[in-house]
A and B are shown apart, each in its own frame.
Chain A
Amino acid sequence: MTCRKAKKLIPLCAGDDLRPRLGTAVRAHIDACLSCRKELGEYRQDLTRLKTAAKAESVPDWSEGEWRALAARFKPAAPGEKGPAFLAQPRWAAASVLGAFLGLVVLAVLFKGPMGGPERVATAGRTDQAAAVRKQDVVSMTMVSQETGLQIVWFLDKNFEWKGDEN
Chain B
Amino acid sequence: MHTPLHFLFATAALLLGTALSAQTGYEELIRENPDRAAGVHHSYEYRPGPETPVPDGYAPFYVSHYGRHGSRRNIGSAARRPWEAMVAARDAGILTPLGEELFRDVDAIHEDHIGMTGELTARGAREHRAIARRLFERFPGIWLDPARTQVHVQSSNIPRCLVSMANFTASLDDCAPRLLFDFVTGDKYLDLLAHDYYDEDAVSAGSHALRDSMALASVDTVRLMKAFFIDDPARVQAVIPSQLEFFYYIFLYGGIRQCVETPDADIFGKYFTVDELITWYRCYNSYIYSEMGNSIEFGDNIVWAARDLVRDIIGRTEAALASDSGTAADLRFGHDSGILPLVGLMDLVGPGDRVHNYDASDSWQSFFQVPMASNLQMVFFRKAGAEPLVKIYYNEQETLVRGLESEAGPYYRWSVLKAHLERRCEQFDNK
Please indicate whether A and B come from the same complex rather than being unrelated chains: no
